[in-house]
Amino acid sequence: MPSGVLTFSRPFAILSFYRKQAYAPYGYKKDANDHNKLVVDEETAPIVQMIFEKYADGMGRGILRDYLRESKIPTPLAVKHMRGEKYSEYMEIPEHRYEWSIATISTIVKNAFYLGSTVHLRYRKATHKSKMKRMPKKDQIVIEDTHEPIISQELWNAVQKRFRAPSPTEANGKNIFRGIAKCTDCGKALNYGQAPRKPKIGKNGKPKAVTKYLTCATYTSHGKARCTSHYTSLDMLTEVVRQRLNRIIGMVQINESKVRKAIQSAQSDSQSVTTVSLEKQLTKNQKRLTDIERIFAKLYEDRALDVIADRNFTMLSSKLQVEQTDLIEESESIKERLAASEKSAEDIGNFIDVIKSMEHIEQLDAKIVNALIDRIDIGEKSTDENGEIYQSIDITYKFIGKLEF
């Protein structure tokens, strides 16, 4: 039984906590005679047992995922779809029915339901307006013997011992690019990993080197069916980013004005009209709008004095109204573009100010990364015509976007 949780016996569970479920958990099905009762599903329960056993025997979740796919074993969602319990358009394609993911396997091997226990208060809202939040294990309630178990307590214990992943705090401390490093192809974040997961001692009695790396979250969960690994060494990425930031810091220290103009030039290259031409066009529009107002006043005067015929008055005023509307709309658009240009200049100033406050970076950390970088897109590795391995690393800086120097 999971430690650190409150447990109750079956009678208390029946009287106070039993809750109807919309769908039976994978490995179970609803009793044909009593839909409030769950019974072991003879078709899927052996799969659950096999997943626990193989994981306990040392098979990694990635290898286990591939094994389930190659064995053409339908996923939990596919089973519901094929039985008509829950429709999924995605599952209409037969190949999708075997796309097991690491997340699905993790959900199964961490679920105490297969011990014959029901866990309550796993998620809870602080208020009716807040989002659901996962509760600590000590605040969860476990009710034992609510249904027939699929696995033994011994097998459960063996599986839980294999979860030695670093805590979120520990992992976040090691990955300074958390939430910033993204996969170029699918856009998902890159997950942190290390090998070996815990320091191991070599034959010489010294700890073996630990390799820290980042891989695409989609690939980690679904394998190459959805995306490729985009594997990158954390140390290598750290050094690349450190060098690029130091290059910018050095350039600002040498010639701030030149860097500012270079950034402005890079941003203005994407604009079809320069700020100067926009301002000229706005002045021209405003002058014409003033002329139209004067002409309107003269037309109404002539109309009142019967100097101009009704037909000509209507024709001229309609033409002027169309021109007036077009000029107003164009002027508003120009003002918006000029305001964006001013904001851009302000953003460049903010970026330069942050850079000026820094000295040469010896040790890159999360604080520096989050202060200067919005995201880093990591491409898949490829080999160029000279046989050199290449991997694109595109940095989008805060305030100013991408830089080409």
Per-residue pLDDT of 86-138, as tens digits, reads 888 888 988 889 999 888 998 999 888 899 888 766 666 555 555 666 666 66
Comparing 171 with 38, the larger pLDDT belongs to 38
What predicted TM-score, i.e. pTM, was given to this entire model? 0.51
Q: pLDDT band for position 18 (50/70/90)?
A: very low
Q: What torsion do the CA atoms of 345, 351, 357, 359 make, to the nearest 10 degrees?
A: -130
Q: pLDDT band for position 274 (50/70/90)?
A: low
Residue 68 · residue 81 · CB < 8 Å: no
pLDDT for residue 234 is more than 80? yes
pLDDT for residue 386 is more than 90? no
Q: Tell me, what's the pLDDT at 266?
A: 67
Comparing 142 with 353, the larger pLDDT belongs to 353
CA angle (7 as vertex; 116, 28 as ends), nearest 5? 20
State the Cα–Cα distance between residues 196 and 183, nearest whole angstrom: 24
Strands 6-8 and 141-143 come out as: parallel
Q: pLDDT band for position 339 (50/70/90)?
A: low
Cα within 13 Å of Cα(127), Cβ side: 2
| Per-residue pLDDT reduced to its tens digit, 289-316 | 999 888 888 888 888 888 888 888 888 8
Mean pLDDT calculated for residue range 366-383: 90
140 phi/psi in degrees, rounded to 5: -85, 160
Residues 6+ apart with CB under 8 A from 378: 181, 182, 183, 184, 190, 214, 230, 232, 237, 391, 392, 393
pLDDT for residue 11 is more than 50? no
Q: Tell me, what's the pLDDT at 10?
A: 46
| Per-residue pLDDT reduced to its tens digit, 192-202 | 888 766 666 66
Q: What domains can you pick out in the chain, each with its CATH number?
A: 6-160 (3.90.1750), 165-271+341-405 (no CATH)
Q: What torsion do the CA atoms of 356, 358, 359, 364 make, to the nearest 10 degrees?
A: -140
Q: Tell me, what's the pLDDT at 168?
A: 45
Number of helices (H), then strands (E), in the chain? 13, 16
State the Cα–Cα distance between residues 135 and 311, nearest whole angstrom: 78
pLDDT for residue 27 is more than 90? yes
State the Cα–Cα distance between residues 171 and 215, nearest whole angstrom: 14
Q: Tell me, what's the pLDDT at 59?
A: 83
Q: What torsion do the CA atoms of 126, 130, 134, 138 make, to the nearest 10 degrees?
A: 0
pLDDT for residue 5 is more than 70? no
Q: pLDDT band for position 48 (50/70/90)?
A: very high
Mean pLDDT calculated for residue range 144-166: 81
**Which residue has 């199964």 as its token pair?**
108
The whole-chain average pLDDT of the chain stands at 81
Q: Tell me, what's the pLDDT at 239?
A: 95
Residue 393 · residue 377 · CB < 8 Å: yes
Residues 6+ apart with CB under 8 A from 125: 131, 132, 133
- The H-or-E segment that residue 40 falls in is strand 38-40
Sheet order of strands, 181-183 included: 181-183, 373-378, 393-397, 401-402
Mean pLDDT lowest for which of 92-101, 231-240, 277-286? 277-286
Q: Tell me, what's the pLDDT at 371?
A: 85
